[in-house]
Amino acid sequence: MTATLGSRAVPGSPDHGAGHREVATAVLRRGRDTVTPALQAAVDRLDDASRTQARYHLGWTKLDGSPGAGGGKAVRPALALLSAAAAGAGVEVGVPGAVAVELVHNFSLLHDDLMDGDTERRHRTTVWVQWGASSAILCGDAMLALAQEVLLEAPSPHAAPAARLLAVTTRELIRGQAEDLAFESRDDVGVDECLSMAAGKTGSLLAASASIGAVLAGAPAAQTEALHTYGHEVGMAFQLVDDLLGIWGDPGVTGKPVLSDLRSRKKSLPVTYAIRNGGDIGRELGDWLAADGDPTDDELHAAARLVEQGGGREWAAAEARRRRDRALDAVTGAGLLPGPTAELVAVAHHLVDREF
Amino acid sequence: MTATLGSRAVPGSPDHGAGHREVATAVLRRGRDTVTPALQAAVDRLDDASRTQARYHLGWTKLDGSPGAGGGKAVRPALALLSAAAAGAGVEVGVPGAVAVELVHNFSLLHDDLMDGDTERRHRTTVWVQWGASSAILCGDAMLALAQEVLLEAPSPHAAPAARLLAVTTRELIRGQAEDLAFESRDDVGVDECLSMAAGKTGSLLAASASIGAVLAGAPAAQTEALHTYGHEVGMAFQLVDDLLGIWGDPGVTGKPVLSDLRSRKKSLPVTYAIRNGGDIGRELGDWLAADGDPTDDELHAAARLVEQGGGREWAAAEARRRRDRALDAVTGAGLLPGPTAELVAVAHHLVDREF
């Protein structure tokens, strides 16, 4: 039995796939267009060195200072803007929240790249490689402080609770990264610990992004909590799918080498599930993961089979589906405005229902 | 001619020295006693790893987890508490500000120790040496986020402007550290640039500390600005005196080796002044500073003489005196309550009128 690489049935709602993709793509593009001028104005305030590094990191410039090809998908700002709209506020209400979550996201990328020793991000040299560790630390620190500054300058009377949400979220993000680093030297990590780590690293900032606009809009607690749940569950589902793609993803789509997460012997969610619940197969997988050296392609395919036979693939796909549905339930039952709610639904499908 | 080591006339007001010292010592002790329980409660919220490292870094525990000898002077929390009292508020109003500035101060120490490669702080191994660079980065990040969190939870209706002040200050701190790192590889740094760096690294957080309590108390802008000026100028004077002590300080008092700043060829304020304004003497000093290798004690004494002959010692002492007097003018002319104002005056003298 060989692992099925490339396309595989997407979890649920195959009928709406294309429509959701179109809507979500438009939402993300619109979000990016809206947030970019405000984000640029904020970054312009940084000290000279941090500004240069941040502009490069965000994809706005190349190393020689000439214009860059642009940055990532800007999912978090788009969610922040949608959450303000869903609560009935104008787009300008969500903008400081959108800028702030994107700054916090990039603060964490700058520091994580350094800590993880990653030399490239999106096929570009990382800041710490280019300018040194101290610059990556300081530029990240400055972006984190700037995020709070921008948020606290928002004209909204609800800027303080939004800033508090961002601070709590930042600590969650840090807890997740600390656990991730600690797990590297442990071989007894459980599924719950792994889910908790993902909740910190991925769930927390998506939850904050999907609710910060509504907080700035002064929405009732039931609505901001529903949006927070939506973001958290979408984040968890996204991470589960990402982990599936890290093993069975099509390199042509993911941009990562085939079986990449197994190549780096990463204790991802499906792998951890199979180790802890796969009996003898799980033990075999655990032993392989704990070994050293560069694995051959045959070994990688064998390891992927063990993850599948140990139930990791099926569990992760079902869990992603379950999380996505909880996100959809939360956001569609909160009495939010129908237009933005439909867009939040489309974004959830777009982020979770990927080919794997 | 030899440089005068050890005691030397303190700049100004010798008559009040002993009285100020007593008052200031009591103020600092009281401030530390007041802030410590709240600071401990805040640190207890950190993730397990960051909490352990923060408690060690703050001097509360030894490496084996047993009780430590306690931390530093806690000047910043004491100023925060005094600034609330000066504006007529109860001590509890200033506490979240006091906790926040101490957390930001220690965030910067954790990151700076790593960037500067300092292996010891107050005769104890630094966090990055003990737990690794990633831990120092994450623990610092967590303390910065926690500072905002504590402040934004303050019951004061003025928590948001206080948090904004802290965010702006954090970026100033980072700018100062970035300039400090950049100056290491330059030999043309001017006195103004050096003062700007000190304003970022030392002035900004003392300015925020001395005004954040008044901001939380909702004091009029004229009062918070006067307190901000007081803190800024005290910080600058403190740095100037620190730089003097780094050359001519008594090792028995400073705890640093004799002529320590010259030994590390540090471009401190008196050194920079002498280089830029000392003519031939300045050029000789600049050449010596740019050289490599471990200097002999004779060379160090000769370099100290050059700083003095180039006017660096006299300028720094006069500038410290001028800054201290501006601080005193600001704080005594702002209509603040007389009791806390007298204590702020005593603290300024205590921090600036040190033996050098």
Chain segment A168-202, per-residue pLDDT in tens = 999 999 999 999 999 988 889 999 999 999 999 99
Please name the residue of chain A whose CA is at the shortest distance from the CA of residue B131.
Answer: A182
Q: Is the pLDDT of residue B117 over 80?
A: yes
pLDDT at position B241: 96
Task: Please write the tens of the pLDDT for every residue from A208-229.
Answer: 999 999 999 999 999 999 999 9
Chain A residue numbers touching B178 (CB-CB < 8 A): 47, 49-50, 135, 138
Are residues A149 and B134, on separate chains, in Cβ contact within 8 Å?
no
Task: Please write the tens of the pLDDT for every residue from A11-25.
Answer: 444 445 668 999 999
B164 at A interface, C-beta within 8 A: yes
Task: Please write the tens of the pLDDT for every residue from B49-70.
Answer: 999 999 999 999 999 989 998 8
Task: Please write the tens of the pLDDT for every residue from B172-193.
Answer: 999 999 999 999 888 899 999 9
User: What's the DSSP call for residue B295?
Assistant: P
The overall average pLDDT reported for chain A is 92
Name A144's Cβ contacts closer than 8 Å, sequence gap at least 6: A103, A104, A107, A170, B141, B144, B145
Instruction: Write down all domains in chain B, each with its CATH number in brackets.
Output: 14-352 (1.10.600.10)
pLDDT at position B250: 86
A104 at B interface, C-beta within 8 A: no
pLDDT at position A355: 66
Q: Is the pLDDT of residue B273 over 80?
A: yes
Nearest CB among B149, B166, B168 relative to A171 is that of: B149
What average pLDDT does the segment A267-292 reach?
A: 95
Task: Please write the tens of the pLDDT for every residue from A28-38.
Answer: 999 999 999 99
Chain A residue numbers touching B181 (CB-CB < 8 A): 134, 138
pLDDT at position A11: 45
Are residues B146 and A138, on separate chains, in Cβ contact within 8 Å?
no
Instruction: Specify the 3-state DSSP secondary structure of B217.
Output: coil
Are residues A145 and B174, on separate chains, in Cβ contact within 8 Å?
yes
pLDDT at position B355: 66
Identify whether the C-beta of residue B255 lies closer than 8 Å to the C-beta of residue B121. no
| Dist. CA B120–CA B115, nearest whole Å | 13
Q: Give me the amino acid identity at B168.
A: V
Q: Tell which B residues from 9 to 48 touch A, by Cβ distance under 8 Å.
A: 45-47
DSSP characters over A43-77: HTTS-HHHHHHHHHHTTSB-TTSSB-------HHH
B118 at A interface, C-beta within 8 A: no
User: Which ranges in B203-296 belong to alpha helices (H)?
Assistant: 204-216, 221-248, 251-254, 260-263, 269-277, 279-290
| Dist. CA B23–CA A77, nearest whole Å | 52
| Dist. CA A162–CA A168, nearest whole Å | 10
pLDDT at position A185: 86
Q: Is the pLDDT of residue A235 over 70?
A: yes
Q: Who wins on pLDDT, B15 or A306?
A: A306
Instruction: Specify the 3-state DSSP secondary structure of A321.
Output: helix
**Complex ipTM more than 0.95, yes or no:** no
Name B44's Cβ contacts closer than 8 Å, sequence gap at least 6: B51
Roughly what angle, to the nearest 10 degrees, separates helices B204-216 and B91-116?
160
Task: Please write the tens of the pLDDT for every residue from B139-161.
Answer: 999 999 999 999 999 999 999 99
Task: Please write the tens of the pLDDT for every residue from B221-240.
Answer: 999 999 999 999 999 999 99
For A124, list phi and psi in degrees, rounded to 5.
-125, 145
Please name the residue of chain B whose CA is at the shortest distance from the CA of residue A138.
Answer: B174
Q: Is the pLDDT of residue A97 over 70?
A: yes
Q: Is the pLDDT of residue B16 over 70?
A: no
- Please give the C-alpha separations between residue A48 and each of A67, A194, B165, B178, B191, in angstroms, as whole numbers: 17, 39, 21, 9, 19
Task: Please write the tens of the pLDDT for every residue from A104-123.
Answer: 999 999 999 999 999 999 88
Nearest CB among A49, A137, A149 relative to B111 is that of: A137
| Dist. CA A215–CA A160, nearest whole Å | 10
B344 to chain A, closest Cα gap in Å: 29
B198 to chain A, closest Cα gap in Å: 15
**Residue of B57, B44, B146 lying closest to B96 (CA atoms):** B146
Residue contacts between A and B (CB atoms, under 8 Å)? 121
Chain A residue numbers touching B111 (CB-CB < 8 A): 137-138, 141
pLDDT at position A164: 98
Name B213's Cβ contacts closer than 8 Å, sequence gap at least 6: B79, B80, B81, B82, B83, B84, B85, B86, B87, B89, B93, B94, B97, B98
In percent, the amount of chain A with pLDDT more than 90 equals 82
Nearest CB among A135, A153, A182 relative to B49 is that of: A182
- Please give the C-alpha separations between residue B83 and each of B92, B144, B336, B343, in angstroms, as whole numbers: 12, 22, 9, 10
Are residues A146 and B164, on separate chains, in Cβ contact within 8 Å?
no
Chain B residue numbers touching A164 (CB-CB < 8 A): 148-149, 152-153
Lowest mean pLDDT among A43-47, A65-69, A173-177: A65-69
B137 at A interface, C-beta within 8 A: yes
